Amino acid sequence: MSVKDVSIDPAVPGLLEKAENDGLETVWHRFASQQPQCGFGLLGICCRNCVQGPCRIDPFGEGPQKGICGANADLMVARNLLRSATGGAAAHIDHAYEAVEALYQAAVGKAPYEIKDEAKLKAVAGKLGISVDGKDKNTLAREVAEAAFADFANHGAAPMKWLTATAPAERVETWGKLGLLPKNPDREIRTAMHQTSMGVDSDPVNLILATVKMGLVDGYGGLHLATDIQDILFGTPSPVVSDANLGVLDADYVNIIIHGHVPLLSEKVVEWARKLENEAIAAGARGIKLAGICCTGNEVLMRQGVPLATNFLAQELAVTTGAVDAMVVDVQCIMPSLADITACYHTKLITTMPIAKVPGAEHVPFDIEKVDETARQIVRIAIEAFKNRDPEKVRIPGHRSKVVAGFSVEAVVGALAKLNADNPLKPLVDNIANGNILGACGVVGCNNAKVVQDSFHVALVKELLKNNVLVVATGCAAHALGKAGFLTPEATLQYAGDSLKAVLTAVGEAAGLKAPLPPVLHMGSCVDNSRIGDLLKALAAYLNVAVKDLPVAASAPEYQHEKAIAIGTWAVALGVFTHLGVVPPVLGSQVVAGALTGETAENLLGGKFYVETDPIAAAQGIIAHIKDKRAKLGI
């Protein structure tokens, strides 16, 4: 079978053809073989929560309307949605917990990480109410890690400290009134699994509220915690120039790809790749090139300037170049098929985490106390593999685009401070108020085989920029926009509407860039959506309004992962109008779909989901929402 027109990434067609010539199957081939996909599953009306099932509901009303236990469509959809959000939150929380453990171990001298960002450490400690006076950084880091651990050991009724310390006060109050404040992230996950098990909750509304609560678990116990701790350990990002797309690989070099999400090992791989350049040269290479895939790629781009190789859907094609000597993976979004693809080349697939093994891969366990040895070993495996590379099988696409990334909130405020040192947010807010910037949209999330790769991201963003909507991006969306050239000053000149262009040019000049700020600000990985939340919190506080009143929106045009469902729910809970470009599996229940996209969500939370599968219509919907919020603010 041959597939085409699956991506707008210019590197894809040639490599797809090579994959087919090399006898390989990719995600797109398997997607085609799955058609037609199960209609019950697409609507969310099948249940496997007990062994009497599987049960399914006839969406046309002719066949069964209840499962064997009596569960109806509303219940099945609501239960499935909560389980998805819980799966997503569990992934982020496990990630965040590992980062906390690493910080603790580093603080007590058991893990070889230097605490890089003392200013962030003090800022986080301050929010948690931990006194910083007279404490050295290791003592303070230990106390911050212990405060995080305390949330996971919270057996009382108090809400999660990381939430109350970092979320907007107005939101904490709103969520509190709705009874949605989570206590202990681990406990909330356990409760949700219990609540959705056979014969417990049969009230879809109660389950929807539990899903919103799970969004908060994710937002603060996952996203915010992970970002805070990673910034403390590895540094808060600041603007950095690099490249994106598979053209960053180089046939003359040892090429190492780091892929996954948790930067604890990849930071060390970057360090050791730089240290072992000589060994690569001794092996006949000109040195070592690193490149990242998925959110590990975003993490090391933001902090180390490592180029982006590609995003989720093209991970197999990275290997198909024949030029990757080692693909090092940690957790999440790693296609099981990678082992089949690497088997056709000299590429070493290296798994590193105890919960993410792949048959056929070489497992080099991540051991925090010996992380330097692990990273060194991995780089040496890549150098060895380089010697076995078959030049006949190498085909590196020429495509690479410049990217400017590293826009943490601290970096954005830093750039704005060049315009107004005393009141950095004022220039931004003034330009929103006077209409030069119509509003802002966070474009985030994945690739999904149901969507032509990157096409929705790019079409949506073009339309938003043309209408003077500033875009911030994370995750695979940021990769997509990077590959397509949107993370550059040149993109401002090419795509931004006139008034947005003028503002970005003025800020760029004032910040000493001698060029405009990019029209799409890369804010990091998916856990770094917390940075977008922080920016919204700061803007709302400055204007003395709630986040839900701001002329902003979020969009996950090509999302696929359960994590995206959890993040989207958090965004809605924060009061954000949240667009989805792929239909979530909820249409089997009017109760659930209606509550999430309609007045129920909006009245209770101020935000809601908006599902639209056409990019231009989606942009128009987002712009209409922004204009509505502007009108309500009287601007």
- Judged by the rule CB under 6 A, the positions of this chain that interact with ligand BF8 are 261, 294-295, 312, 333, 445-446, 475-476, 525-526, 560-561, 563-564
Among 172, 198, 251, 633, the residue binding ligand SF4 under the rule CB under 6 A is 198
| 71 touching ligand SF4, by CB under 6 A | yes
Q: Which two tokens stand for residue 567?
A: 């993040």
446 annotated as ligand-binding: yes
Nearest distance in Å: CB 99, ligand BF8: 14
**48 touching ligand SF4, by CB under 6 A:** yes
Q: Is 47 annotated as a binding residue?
A: yes
Please say whether the beta carbons of 330 and 261 come within 8 A: yes
Residue 588 interacts with ligand SF4 (CB under 6 A): yes or no: no
Among 3, 32, 69, 205, binds ligand SF4 (CB under 6 A): 69
Give 258's strand partners.
292, 328
Neighbour tally for 352: CB within 10 Å: 28
Considering the rule CB under 6 A, would residue 511 count as an interface residue with ligand SF4? no
C-alpha span between 101 and 144 (Å, rounded):
11
Indicate which single residue of 5, 64, 65, 68 sits in contact with ligand SF4 (rule: CB under 6 A): 68
Q: How far apart are CA 145 and CA 113, in angstroms?
A: 14
At its nearest, how many Å lie between ligand SF4 and the CB of residue 213? 22
Pairing of strands 240-244, 401-405: antiparallel
Q: How far is the CB of 217 from ligand SF4 (least distance, A)?
A: 24
526 labeled part of a ligand binding site: yes
Contact 149, 108 (CB under 8 A): no
540 vs 488: CA distance, rounded Å? 28
Q: How far is the CB of 611 from ligand BF8 (least distance, A)?
A: 18
3-state class (DSSP) for residue 113? coil
For residue 251, count CB atoms less than 10 angstroms from its CB and return exposed for 0-12, middle for 13-18, buried for 19 or more: middle
3-state helix, strand, coil in the chain (%, to 5): 55, 10, 35
Q: Which residue is nearest to ligand BF8 (CB)?
A: 446
> What number of chain residues touch ligand SF4 (CB under 6 A)?
13
Residue whose pair of structure tokens reads 């991006």 in the numeric block: 473
Q: How far is the CB of 303 from ligand SF4 (least distance, A)?
A: 45
Q: Which span (62-70, 371-379, 498-506, 525-533) binds ligand SF4, by CB under 6 A?
A: 62-70
Q: Which of 19, 45, 55, 318 binds ligand SF4 (CB under 6 A)?
A: 55
State yes or no: 333 annotated in a binding site: yes
∠ CA 42-46-52 to the nearest 5 degrees? 160
- The one-character DSSP state at 329 is E
Residue 294 is assigned to a ligand binding site = no
55 marked among binding-site residues: yes
Q: Determine if 513 is a binding residue for ligand SF4 (CB under 6 A).
A: no
Nearest-approach distance from CB 197 to ligand SF4, in angstroms: 8
Q: Smallest distance, Å, CB 57 to ligand SF4?
A: 9
Name the segment binding ligand SF4 (CB under 6 A); options: 53-61, 342-350, 439-447, 504-512.
53-61
Closer to ligand BF8 by Cβ: residue 263 or 516 = 263
Q: Is 344 annotated as a binding residue?
A: no
Q: Kindly calculate the radius of gyration of the chain based on its CA atoms and give it in whole angstroms.
A: 24
Question: Rule CB under 6 A: is residue 425 a binding residue for ligand SF4?
Answer: no
State the residue for tokens 């994106």.
Answer: 244
254 Cβ partners below 8 Å, 6+ apart? 280, 283, 285, 287, 288, 289, 325, 382, 383, 386
Q: What end-to-end distance do the CA atoms of the chain give, in Å?
A: 55
Binding-site residue set for [4Fe-4S] cluster: 38, 46-47, 50, 55, 69
- Residues of this chain that interact with ligand SF4 (CB under 6 A) are 47-50, 52-55, 67-69, 71, 198
Binding-site residue set for [Ni-4Fe-4S] cluster: 261, 295, 333, 446, 476, 526
